[in-house]
Structure 1
């Protein structure tokens, strides 16, 4: 019997007993017999006990049957579960074997694909590396050739400019010297012509001021004829704080840090009275008078030379010597006839005598010196330009060295990548490669690889 049915019967029996008890209590009898009731209740209790024992017996029997059925069902379920587990194990083993076969095949395919791609990548890298090296070597060779050509062209241009400039300046200077010499010869002829008019000139030069102006005018004419206005000055104080101004002074470039010029004083003197007495004595054939006039002229020249040295010479502001200009060639010739006069003046007072022709030759020499100095300055500027070009070329060489280092670093990196690819190829040598189609499906190429593979 089922346990629920037994419990239901027990509940129904209890209800019946409760109803009977209620019914007995509800009956109204005048003299109830409690003994009968007690016997009935005792009988009912005994019946209930019997029923209870029977029910307990039935419940125990049913429980043992249910336990046996449950144990049997559990054993059956366990056996079915074991059978299903064994079946599932066999199925899983079969699936694992199949999956292992597929995985091995896939691994082989993947290894072959990777090996193929790595081999292609290695070949592509080697090809690109060789192309990069060839390109860089060609560019470096072209760059070196271009630099060599440019340097040769620059050197040739500088040499041509220097040669042409030097030839032009020297040719121009020699031409000017020839012109000046021709003018000197013409001047000598003109001086001989002017000697005829000395008498009329003597009447003009009647006072000291007129004689001084004549010498200054002739000296200024000679300076203007040879030098530029920037190369000389007029009425300038060559000795600082002396208050004495020389007629003319030639400007030389200074050697000091302040850039102050160095002056060459030139003072014009014309001792007309002594010169006229000497000429008169010669015309009268008066030898003692000519000698006395010549000594007076010599003394006058010495005084003028000492005055020039004291008033106008002050080294290093001036040169070590000055020039005393005699504006008449005949006067200069008479002074030169005095034995030892010119040497004594140069030695004692550092003054050089000069007539018109001699001063013109001196000025031409100074002009040539100025032009030579200008050429030296231009040559120094050219050398500075060449020095700057050399500096830039050295800097350019440093840039080329840096580019060469960068190219060497890139080459080392590519060599390392090539070595790494070879190592990976050796590691994947035992793995079989997949066909190209399967490798493309498993490992689709990227845009970079597609673009890199194209030449």
Structure 2
């Protein structure tokens, strides 16, 4: 309806705009007539507009009244329906409230029962935990005290072992401080190596390797000679120049090049003196090998000797003496042991061959004896066949003889039967 009210002025404005446009386009003498016609049309429109507006307002009032009555009726119906729905909701809410109250009371009862049950279980669990905790604590404390006691006992034993070790170290220091004792210690180390690797018959102690000489080497290894029963000796002598070695090590620790060089030269001189002594006292080919072995009982001392340029080679070339430490001597002894085993196998090979040859001869005799035995068995089988034949003949003869001894009537009766 509002759109119709506002449509009239808009329509008039459009008509006036069209009129102005038309006047602008028409510039001849017919414009006056057109203007007159337009004025008449405008007057008519002005007469009709109030009537149209009055009619439109009446229609709008009627429409608004009808709309208001319809809206009032709908609101009244909606209010009645809402009141009914609200009453139903209130009834449902009251039912829900009763159910909720009942549920709350039931939950309260169940919660109280659960709390009582949980309290009882918690007290029981607490008692069990306290008991187990007490037992575990007592057990662990007992074990801990026992372990502490055992460890204290082990510490006490360790202290005793440390005291014993300290005493042993003191004895070792005394041993190393005494020249004679140092020589004995090197000899003991050499003997231990020989006992571990060689058999007792493969070496001897305190051997006079040179004929008509009273000089005796500490140990000599017995090597097989050219003959069946001959043997030659490999002299092995232990030397331990510990004073020069200790001075060398101390000078190296202090960073004293001059002192270290002096101690090294002194050690080299002492080693050459030992090698010359071994050559002059113990080497006598062909009763001995053309070289001897100087055993140094520590690897550190052996390493220092090898560090001196040309020292080991000079000892071998000039004095025919080989320097060996514990590891080197063990390797040398193992090599000799393998050689002894190879030689023993070669010697035993001849014995085995002789046994095989005698076995071959005996096996030939056994073949002849087996052939004779087979022939005798065949003869015995032939004799047994003859015996069986004779036994059958004898049996038949005895059968006929038995028939002759029977009365005639019995023979006829038997024939009838």
TM range (shorter): 0.3 to 0.5
Q: Highest relative contact order (Cα 8 Å, sep 6+), 1 or 2?
A: 1
